[in-house]
Amino acid sequence: MERLIVLDTETTGIEPSEGHRIIEIGCTEIIDRQITKDNEYHQYIQPERLVGDSERIHGIKDTFLKEKPKFEEIAEEFLEYIEGATLVIHNAPFDLGFLNHELALMGAEQRIEDNCKIIDSLEVSKEQRPGGMHNLDALCRRFEIDASERTVHGALLDAKILAQVYIAMTGGQFTLFSESQHAENDSIKIKRVDSDRTQIKIVMANEAELKAHNTYFETFT
């Protein structure tokens, strides 16, 4: 049985080295390529600092977080939830950097990747379509996944959406025909064109025809 945990976090900023902290963790589970809606993990966290300008991204206010537990209070249950699973994270270094920073602040020496395998869905997308757009909104458009509820970033909502994206992006090529059509198409034979057929005659334009052609298009300039 393959157990994947699709994980996302929301934070007060982009650099834990600057004192920024996690304020939300959201996870959804995939078992054998099926999303198990009854085994999610979701927790808001008191970051012991103000959210600042990051509120514009996630919409989470300081007043809302005031009575929420600190990371150290939820760490054990969170680590138990993800233990042994493969984590699917979009831009994994970002989320892992924050999670490992929170563990370090507790005095823990372990890192998330010590107990879990990591799949970075951002890197998977880049390998599939080099040069394209790879943010979550772009992937939703590519795989026709409804993200209309995503008016602001939210860890659990984004994890749910990413779970659908990941299943779609790793699903392989779709078949061209349904099973009922396969039987019909099995009887279709491909007729090859005879290699000894008469060659197609190519007639080149003469000088007068080329002049008329160029004169015609000059009227549009």
Q: Please, what is the average pLDDT of the chain?
A: 85
Residue 210 vs residue 187, higher pLDDT: 210
> What pLDDT, on the 0 to 100 scale, is given for residue 205?
65
Check whether 98 has a pLDDT greater than 80. Answer: yes
> What pLDDT, on the 0 to 100 scale, is given for residue 147?
81
Distances (CA, A) of 188 to 73, 96, 169, 181, 183: 66, 53, 32, 11, 10
pLDDT band of residue 172 (cuts 50, 70, 90) is low
- Which contacts of 72-79 are long-range, i.e. CB under 8 A and separated by 24 or more positions? 72/102, 72/105, 72/106, 74/25, 74/43, 74/45, 75/102, 75/103, 75/106, 75/108, 78/25, 78/41, 78/43, 79/115
Strands laid side by side in the 34-44 sheet:
34-44, 22-31, 3-11, 86-89, 117-120
In this predicted model, what pLDDT tens digit does every residue of 121-149 receive, in sequence order? Answer: 999 999 999 988 999 999 999 999 988 87
> What pLDDT, on the 0 to 100 scale, is given for residue 192?
45
Residue-wise DSSP of 44-75: E---SS--GGGHHHH---HHHHTTSPPHHHHH
Tell me the average pLDDT across 26-48.
96
Check whether 174 has a pLDDT greater than 50. Answer: no
> What pLDDT, on the 0 to 100 scale, is given for residue 183?
39
pLDDT band of residue 195 (cuts 50, 70, 90) is low
> What pLDDT, on the 0 to 100 scale, is given for residue 72?
97
Residue 98: CB atoms within 10 A of its CB come to 25
Fold of 3-169: Nucleotidyltransferase; domain 5 (3.30.420)
Lowest mean pLDDT among 1-5, 42-46, 102-106: 1-5
pTM: 0.76
Check whether 26 has a pLDDT greater than 50. Answer: yes
Residue 202 vs residue 174, higher pLDDT: 202
Residue 69: CB atoms within 10 A of its CB come to 13
> What pLDDT, on the 0 to 100 scale, is given for residue 153?
82
Q: Which two tokens stand for residue 54?
A: 């990051």
* Residue 155 φ/ψ, nearest 5 degrees: -60, -50
> What pLDDT, on the 0 to 100 scale, is given for residue 176?
36
Check whether 203 has a pLDDT greater than 80. Answer: no
| Three-state DSSP class for residue 117 | strand
Check whether 70 has a pLDDT greater than 50. Answer: yes
Q: Across the strands, what pairs with 3?
A: 31
pLDDT band of residue 152 (cuts 50, 70, 90) is low
Catalytic residues: 153
Q: Across the strands, what pairs with 119?
A: 88
* Residue 27 φ/ψ, nearest 5 degrees: -135, 145
Cα torsion 140, 146, 150, 156: sign: negative
> What pLDDT, on the 0 to 100 scale, is given for residue 197?
53
Tell me the average pLDDT across 77-87.
97
Tell me the average pLDDT across 14-35.
96
